[in-house]
Amino acid sequence: MKIYVVDDDHVQLNVTSLILESAGHQVSSMAGGILAISEIEQQKPDCVVIDLMMAEMGGLELLSELKKKQRLKNTKFVIVTGHSDKVWRIKAKEKGADGFILKPISQEDFSAKLDDIVSGKTPFEVDINKATIDLYTASTPNGWKASVALEEMDIPYNVHTVDLKGAEQKQDWFLKINPNGRIPAIIDQEAGNFPIFESGAILIYLAEKSGKLMPQDAKGRSEVIQWVMFQMGGLGPMMGQANVFHRYFPEKIQPAIDRYQNETKRLLTVMDTHLKDNYYLAKKFSIADIANWCWARTHKWSGVKIDDLPHLQRWLDTIAERPACQAGIKVPIDLEELRTGDGEGAKKFAKDALTMVQR
C-alpha cells in the first residue's frame, strides 16, 4: 500500500515511517503540512496518515485542504494523535477523516489498523451528538462566557440551570463541583467527571481541549490570556460593583457609583484604544473576545455610556453578529429584555439580583 505520513515531529515521523516500511508499505513523508499538500496531490497515495497537532498547519486544517483535491477522491485519510478526548474524534469525522488512531503507535497493530481502515473493514464511527460536558450556569455575564465558548467551539453540552435566587449554588452537591459556590462550573465526562470552576479557567480549559480560539504558540497564547485576565481582574469586577451600587442597592451611594462607573469607563476606553488598530483583542477571534464581550455588552446595565468609544462599539457589533455568540447568551434563558431599560421587568430583575449578591 502507498502511504504518505505527515508529522512535524521528526522523531515520530521517522518512527511511523519505519513501522510502515517494515510492514511492506511504500512510504513517503513530510515534516509539516504546507509543503506536503502539492506532493500528496501529485503522488495520489492510498492513505495519508496525519498527525493532529502540528504547529504551522494543524492536522485538521491539512485534512480539509486535501479533501478539496479531486485527484485524492479515492485516498483514505487517518488522523493520529495522543489526545483521546472525543471532541477530536468528532472534529476529525466532520472534516472527512476515514480513521482515528491513538498514540503511542504499536508496531504490532498499526499497519493492521490502517489496512482495515483503507479496506473499509473498520468504518470510522463516532456519536457526534453525545454531550460530554455538563454546564452548571445561570444567565449572567460569567455564565455566558462558558455557554458562548461551548457554542463557538461546537462542543456538545448539557445545561443545568442553577437557581441563584434560591441559593442552589450554596448547596452541598454544588459545592462539591465548585467550593466557592459560584457559577459557571463544568464537568468533563471524558476526563473522569473532572470539575472545572472559575469562568476564566473554564475558557482556557475548553480552548485547550478543543484546540480552538487560542493559539498554540507561546506568544499568541500569552496575548489571549492577558486579555482574559484583563476581564477577570478588571472589567468583570468593576462592572459587577457598578451594577451593585447603580442597580441593586436601594440606597444610592453616589461616591461608590461614581467610583465603579468611572473605572468601568476607563477599562472600556483601554479596550477602545487597543481596538483602534486591532480587529479583535488578540489578532484573531478568541476566548479573550468572548470573556470581555460577555461583560462589555452589558455596559448600559452598569450605567456606562460608550457613545465616544467607536472602536469598542464596532467590536461589540461585530461579535454580536456571530450566531454562536447569540445562541450562547440565551443559555439557560434569554434575559435580554429584562436586562435593558428601566421598566418594571428591569426593576424586578435588579431586586432579585440584590438578594443573590448578598449571599
Please report, for the domain that includes residue 257, its CATH number.
1.20.1050.10
Q: Please state, in angstroms and rounded to a whole number, the distance separating the CA atoms of residues 247 and 349.
A: 9
**C-alpha pair distances (Å), 60 with each of 67, 198, 209:** 10, 30, 14
In the β-sheet with 157-161, what is the strand arrangement from edge to edge?
A: 157-161, 133-137, 185-188, 194-197
Classify residue 124: in a domain, yes or no. no
Count of CA atoms in the C-beta half-sphere (13 A) of 79: 28
Report, in this order, helix, strand and coil percent for the chain, each rounded to 5: 50, 10, 35
Classify residue 266: in a domain, yes or no. yes
- The verdict on 203 and 268 lying in the same domain is no
Report residue 23 as a C-alpha cell.
510492514
Domain boundary among 170, 187, 210: 210
Classify residue 19: in a domain, yes or no. yes
- The verdict on 76 and 153 lying in the same domain is no
Q: Structurally, how many domains does the chain consist of? A: 3
What are the residues whose beta carbons fall under 8 Å from the beta carbon of 48, sequence distance 6 or more?
Answer: 3, 4, 5, 6, 40, 66, 72, 75, 76, 77, 78
Classify residue 351: in a domain, yes or no. yes
Q: Please state, in angstroms and rounded to a whole number, the distance separating the CA atoms of residues 189 and 135.
A: 11
- The verdict on 236 and 344 lying in the same domain is yes
Q: Please state, in angstroms and rounded to a whole number, the distance separating the CA atoms of residues 238 and 244.
A: 10
Other Cβ atoms less than 10 A from the Cβ of 260: the count is 23
Domain boundary among 210, 229, 248: 210
Backbone phi, psi, residue 100, to 5°:
-145, 115
In the β-sheet with 26-30, what is the strand arrangement from edge to edge?
A: 26-30, 2-6, 47-51, 76-81, 99-102
Give the model's pLDDT for residue 348.
56
CATH number assigned to the domain comprising residue 79: 3.40.50.2300
Domain boundary among 119, 147, 164: 119
- The residue type found at 354 is L
Contact 67, 92 (CB under 8 A): no
- The verdict on 17 and 63 lying in the same domain is yes
Contact 198, 260 (CB under 8 A): no
Give the model's pLDDT for residue 289.
98
- The residue type found at 49 is V
Q: Are strands 133-137 and 185-188 parallel, antiparallel or unpaired?
A: antiparallel
Q: Closest by alpha carbon to 340, among 291, 309, 296, 299?
A: 299
Give the model's pLDDT for residue 127.
61
- The verdict on 139 and 109 lying in the same domain is no
Classify residue 126: in a domain, yes or no. no
Series of mean pLDDT values for 10-residue runs along the chain (359 residues): 93 89 93 92 95 89 94 94 76 90 76 88 73 93 97 91 93 97 95 96 96 94 98 98 94 97 98 98 97 97 97 98 94 73 56 57
- The verdict on 162 and 107 lying in the same domain is no
- The verdict on 197 and 223 lying in the same domain is no
CATH number assigned to the domain comprising residue 166: 3.40.30.10
- The verdict on 199 and 249 lying in the same domain is no
- The verdict on 85 and 31 lying in the same domain is yes
Give the model's pLDDT for residue 350.
58
Give the model's pLDDT for residue 67.
95
Q: Please state, in angstroms and rounded to a whole number, the distance separating the CA atoms of residues 201 and 198.
A: 5
3-state secondary structure of 272: helix
pTM of the model: 0.67
- The verdict on 319 and 352 lying in the same domain is yes
- The verdict on 239 and 303 lying in the same domain is yes
Classify residue 192: in a domain, yes or no. yes
Classify residue 128: in a domain, yes or no. no
Q: Closest by alpha carbon to 13, among 94, 105, 138?
A: 105
Q: Please state, in angstroms and rounded to a whole number, the distance separating the CA atoms of residues 243 and 292.
A: 16
Burial 275-296 (b: 16+ CB within 10 A, else e): beeeebbbeebbbbbbbbbbbb
How far apart are the two ends of the chain, measured CA to CA in Å?
66
Domain that includes residue 153, residue range: 133-210
Classify residue 261: in a domain, yes or no. yes
Write the DSSP string, 8-44.
Answer: S-HHHHHHHHHHHHHTT-EEEEESSHHHHHHHHHHH-
- The verdict on 87 and 159 lying in the same domain is no
Report residue 243 as a C-alpha cell.
451594577
